[in-house]
Amino acid sequence: MNEHLRIDRLRWWHLPEVARMETAIFGPEAWSEGILWTELSAGNDYRAVFDDDTGRDDAAIAGYMGIALGDTEAWINNIAVDAAYRRRGIARMLMDDALARSRAAGAKAVYLEVAVDNVPAQRLYDAYGFYGIGVRKNYYQHTGTDAAVMRMDL
């Protein structure tokens, strides 16, 4: 693992970079900067993996994840890793952190939706013990792709 990588809270000034990543990764299904702002202002917990070995004052964002924490459950709203940082354990860092924060908040289960054709993400979730509980038809409106709803018991 790269010793320059760290997880920290995502802040409003990171949103332009996150919105750029959203567009590059998710295309027409990307969340806009405005939607991301709404997520942060609603109190949802967003974290990012920052690369402090950039030589810049503002560290590069390698990946990010947002979760909504309830009384007994948590929802993973989104997770994304920049193409330049893939295959380096970034998604696992984010998942480990999100699951630890969910447990600490008292969640008994974690839920997420994932595109039925996103096999790499499903493999990651399977490895953590998530299992399918349903399908949301045409969940991704721009592409008409269905979403698998998954749950993990904590």
Q: What CA–CA distance (Å, rounded) separates 36 from 17? A: 11
Q: By three-state DSSP, how is residue 102 classified?
A: helix
Query: Which residue of the set 113, 131, 139, 140 is catalytic?
Result: 113
* Catalytic-residue membership of 33: no
Reading across the β-sheet that carries 60-69, which strands appear in turn?
Answer: 5-9, 45-51, 60-69, 73-81, 109-115, 145-153, 131-140
* Catalytic-residue membership of 17: no
Residue 115 identity (one-letter amino acid): A
Query: Which residue of the set 46, 111, 125, 139 is catalytic?
Result: 125
Residues with a catalytic annotation lie at 113, 125
